[in-house]
A and B are shown apart, each in its own frame.
Chain A
């Protein structure tokens, strides 16, 4: 193993009478040694970088509720999202993977992610006689019922994440469940 340690130099006295042969020997030693090390290292690093190829699931349309189960007065309802989840090699069938707030106004429904866009904590809904609001317990960001930030300087870089909603067959509430990057001002889907 001494060969690869000595990867440098002119100083190394050759001891060879034939200087050209000495140079060839050094070149072969360095080249072979380096190649031999590079091959396994390259393969290993390539596998280590594999997670960079992985993509998130993206948005999934899911039936989360029926219209008649949502309060008509506009009080947000927290609904758990149950879905299959794949963790590397394991497939977990029907697991809780998140939750959304559903708010009904007439025949329309709005959906908000419960995950705070700031640091990923779960936002609570707090009812009050004045109409209630959303509060993140971690850094006390507050949001109104539309998910808009209510403080002048909010710890949260953007409003709560709205999700696409469709009411199908007049009763089924379908939501495109999606997660977004945390801590940034713009709403970017997690890819």
Chain B
């Protein structure tokens, strides 16, 4: 063993180098402040390690970026932890660099002979900043996408070169970010900014070594690096890991890690309204609101640029009389301003119901896309297709058109901005279900707000009929009415009623007979058509009432003789033409709207989540 070591050491000088490094004299006593460069280096190595393993899974394209991250997060053992460590370490790294720069300014450690060391440290900070900003897009989720779109859009604020820079950044004319944005950002993230960081780190190390040697000459006390400074530094590295793990698990084990929102939607209509910059840019974000749009270049480029310039000049200010005092006061004021702005921004968002609603909607959507991915797998066109084809997601968006008259009391998340200010048509929540029909055939409710109050059928033939014939029923007739309701509702074949429809097959058959026999009080077929009985044209057909085909038909053209015919109130025909180009809604949109109104979508049962 000894001879092997000897052999190795003789050829490499490894042991001697270690001894030399260990004996590097550090001026002054060992200190905790001096652990920061070591912790920063360690955090970078941690990023390199976790980054490499993430790289082994990542696939940068619009159809696979989110999907590969989803795979790491949900299907690779420990993948979520790997991703969380990579994410939080970057933020801790940036925080440490900010801390170190501030420390250097406040203590005057940036002064001669350490000016270049200080510059290199600022450079490291800018590299991490750039790496975090490019890394943010790579998961291709709603937040990263929207935030990056805004950020790259800022380039347009620059005179003359703005447009060219934007094209270079996103890899094309835009406006949507795409495949080339991903490949470019990935290359910048892994190659330029991380590589640049490494290069600067080496340069900084060499410069610091030289500066320390110069300082050590005049120092009262000198301590060798090993082991008294070394163990403090090693402990600091472990603290970095501990902080990262605390951040990972700060919301408990169930929601540990970094959230992955729903896949980026390139449709501007579905822009994520709650996208915000990372914590370290929130101050600038808030600051930029102080300026009118056309002056955006000032808060986004000019002021931050001047501040960086000022920061770089601080080592030289410090030589002047009162220079160090100026540096300290300025740095403290700047910190106070940034913290104040940041706090103001977070407070504003916390108290903004629209912002909170957008977050809630996005949380719902990211949950939903996971359910769909588990249920049917991710198609080759990407996970966004799952949401685009999902009636539960698309229904509320499509219903916005209907909501100018109709009410739908769906989940608040799904309908964040659907509000029927003044309803003027029936409430379509659970349309054609038994409770809905029971209300319609109730003399007390038919002219109420949920049904005919605001439309022209109020007090019309149907309302008249219900009032006169269904008001005072004896027990037997009430039973029969229930059967009739069950029979009509069964026409809809609603997924939610599948079980009770099967259970009540006999009652449904009896109800159907009652309608077909047309005996008082169930003389529906006097006006409505029902399975060959009665004629079309006076009132909507009850054959297949509320079924997919029926609803799609009435949306396409309510004035068709099968529905309201000439009696149609104000409902527009959304697809009356055979030429799709002339219709308001496409066949697919109508299908999704229909499925949504009928509650026909995949629902993950609470008892059996997962595959």
Residues of A whose CB lies within 8 Å of any CB of B are: 1-9, 11-16, 22, 24-26, 28-33, 35-37, 39-41, 43-48, 50, 53, 84, 86, 88-93
Are B18 and A12 interface neighbours, CB within 8 A? yes
* Smallest beta-carbon distance A82→chain B, Å: 15
Are B241 and A93 interface neighbours, CB within 8 A? no
Are A86 and B56 interface neighbours, CB within 8 A? no
Are B22 and A2 interface neighbours, CB within 8 A? yes
Q: In the complex the two chains form, what is the Cα distance from A45 to B53 in whole Å?
A: 7
* Smallest beta-carbon distance A138→chain B, Å: 30
Partner-binding segment picked from B282-290, B377-385, B458-466: B377-385
Q: B79 is contacted by which of A11, A31, A45, A47 (Cβ under 8 Å)?
A: A47
B308 in contact (CB, < 8 A)? no
Taking A2-B24, A43-B50 as contacts, is the C-beta distance between A36 and B234 under 8 angstroms? yes
Q: Which residue of A lies closest to B233 (CB)?
A: A3
The 10 A-B pairs at the shortest CB distance, nearest first, are namely: A91-B377, A44-B53, A25-B227, A3-B230, A29-B231, A32-B234, A6-B18, A33-B234, A36-B237, A89-B71
Are B228 and A16 interface neighbours, CB within 8 A? yes
Q: In the complex the two chains form, what is the Cα distance from A173 to B78 in whole Å?
A: 44
Are A2 and B234 interface neighbours, CB within 8 A? no
In the assembled complex, which residues on chain A have CB atoms less than 8 Å from the CB atom of B57?
47
In the assembled complex, which residues on chain B have CB atoms less than 8 Å from the CB atom of A26?
226-227, 230-231
Q: In the complex the two chains form, what is the Cα distance from A26 to B78 in whole Å?
A: 32
Taking A25-B228, A30-B234 as contacts, is the C-beta distance between A1 and B380 under 8 angstroms? no
* Smallest beta-carbon distance A63→chain B, Å: 22
In the assembled complex, which residues on chain A have CB atoms less than 8 Å from the CB atom of B67?
89-90
**Size of interface on B: residues with Cβ below 8 Å to A:** 54
Are A89 and B64 interface neighbours, CB within 8 A? yes
Q: Is the interface of A mostly helix, strand, loop or mixed?
A: helix
Are A47 and B75 interface neighbours, CB within 8 A? no
In the assembled complex, which residues on chain B have CB atoms less than 8 Å from the CB atom of A86?
377
Q: Which residues of chain B from 220 to 267 have any CB-CB distance to chain A below 8 Å in the complex? A: 223-228, 230-231, 233-235, 237-238, 240-241
Q: Which residue of B lies closest to A42 (CB)?
A: B78
B76 in contact (CB, < 8 A)? yes
The interface centre, meaning the residue of A5, A12, A40 with most chain B CB atoms within 10 A of its CB, is A40
Are A44 and B49 interface neighbours, CB within 8 A? yes
Q: Which residue of A lies closest to B81 (CB)?
A: A43
Q: Which residue of B lies closest to A21 (CB)?
A: B228
The interface centre, meaning the residue of B18, B22, B225 with most chain A CB atoms within 10 A of its CB, is B22
Q: In the complex the two chains form, what is the Cα distance from A45 to B19 in whole Å?
A: 31
Q: B227 is contacted by which of A22, A48, A88 (Cβ under 8 Å)?
A: A22
In the assembled complex, which residues on chain A have CB atoms less than 8 Å from the CB atom of B50?
40, 43-44
B326 in contact (CB, < 8 A)? no
In the assembled complex, which residues on chain B have CB atoms less than 8 Å from the CB atom of A29?
226-227, 230-231, 233-234
In the assembled complex, which residues on chain A have CB atoms less than 8 Å from the CB atom of B82?
43-44, 47
Partner-binding segment picked from B38-46, B411-419, B561-569: B38-46
Q: Which residue of A lies closest to B85 (CB)?
A: A40
Q: Which residue of A lies closest to B224 (CB)?
A: A15
Q: In the complex the two chains form, what is the Cα distance from A15 to B222 in whole Å?
A: 10
Are B226 and A12 interface neighbours, CB within 8 A? yes
Are A90 and B379 interface neighbours, CB within 8 A? yes
Are B231 and A36 interface neighbours, CB within 8 A? no
In the assembled complex, which residues on chain A have CB atoms less than 8 Å from the CB atom of B38?
1-3
Taking A2-B230, A25-B230 as contacts, is the C-beta distance between A36 and B42 under 8 angstroms? yes
B401 in contact (CB, < 8 A)? no
Are A6 and B226 interface neighbours, CB within 8 A? yes
Q: In the complex the two chains form, what is the Cα distance from A33 to B45 in whole Å?
A: 12
Taking A43-B81, A91-B377 as contacts, is the C-beta distance between A12 and B19 under 8 angstroms? yes
Q: Which residues of chain B from 76 to 112 have any CB-CB distance to chain A below 8 Å in the complex? A: 76-79, 81-82, 85, 89
The interface centre, meaning the residue of A1, A22, A33, A93 with most chain B CB atoms within 10 A of its CB, is A1
Q: In the complex the two chains form, what is the Cα distance from A165 to B537 in whole Å?
A: 58
Are A32 and B23 interface neighbours, CB within 8 A? no
Taking A28-B235, A43-B82 as contacts, is the C-beta distance between A36 and B377 under 8 angstroms? no
